[in-house]
Amino acid sequence: SQTIHQWPATLVQPVGSPLSLECTVEGTSNPNLYWYRQAAGRGLQLLFYSVGIGQISSEVPQNLSASRPQDRQFILSSKKLLLSDSGFYLCAWRTGGTYEQYFGPGTRLTVT
Amino acid sequence: EDQVTQSPEALRLQEGESSSLNCSYTVSGLRGLFWYRQDPGKGPEFLFTLYSAGEEKEKERLKATLTKKESFLHITAPKPEDSATYLCAVQAGGGATNKLIFGTGTLLAVQP
């Protein structure tokens, strides 16, 4: 069966510091991968998606970036965090033939 | 603009008191409508996919229905463990994105 992991689970970082969040998927090949951010009282906002290694598409202009160095690994990064980057970051995957996406456990990021 | 609106924002029920959650959508070319359950501090858990008006899906005490403009999540004789935020999402159009547009959710509290 498929499993999705995210780490770290929680993170507290000062403004201006770098960020690296990692997501890995097990039990599937060539998944579509997604990064979402969920702010309190708001719906999930799609940040990035990837259909393959090295292929990244951005949905929202911001100081975040994403990379996909391996088929089942997706990384969210920032060089300098802003207070507005605080939120709950979720990674999701999907494979061909189905439209539903499956989410990881999430990373709670607090920028202080 | 594609949009998803969920109501009510919050719902408090007594154990055994059946009710329905609403998800109304405005989208061009619906490819699928999705229901998720999200517990506090966790990633959304996939529940159902509905593809066309008239379709129904059931899982334990939950039943999801779809019309051309809205979906309902019916909860029959709920238990305290059904307490969670229920999210609705739609996929419009097509292409590699499989972009999901989420509503802000309904927070359900079931009291014993």
Type of residue found at A98:
T
DSSP assignments along B35-64, one per residue? EEEE-TTS--EEEEEE-STT-EEEETTEEE
> What is d(CA B17, CA A32) in angstroms, rounded to the nearest whole number?
40
| Per-residue confidence band for B84, with pLDDT thresholds at 50, 70 and 90 | very high
Give the pLDDT of chain A (112 residues) as one tens digit per residue: 889 999 999 999 999 999 999 999 999 989 999 999 998 777 899 999 999 999 999 988 679 999 999 999 999 999 999 999 999 999 999 987 778 999 999 999 999 9
Judged by DSSP in three states, A74 sits in strand
Q: With an 8 Å Cβ cutoff, are B96 and A43 in contact?
A: no
B73 touches chain A (CB under 8 A): no
Q: In what order do the strands lie in the sheet with A3-7?
A: A3-7, A19-26, A73-78, A64-70
Q: Which of A44, A49, A99 sits opposite B91 (nearest CB)?
A: A99
Both structure tokens of A40: 């309190």
- What pLDDT is stored for residue A61 in this prediction? 67
> What is d(CA A51, CA B13) in angstroms, rounded to the nearest whole number?
42
Q: Which of B87, B97, B105 sits opposite A49 (nearest CB)?
A: B97
Report CA-CA distances (Å) from B35 to A68, B60, B73, B87, B88.
28, 14, 8, 6, 5
Question: Measured between CA atoms, how close is B93 to chain A, in angstroms?
Answer: 12
Q: Mean pLDDT over all residues of chain B?
A: 93
Measured in whole angstroms, the distance separating CA B20 from the mean position of its chain's CA atoms is: 10
Find tokens 């009282």 and name the residue: A41
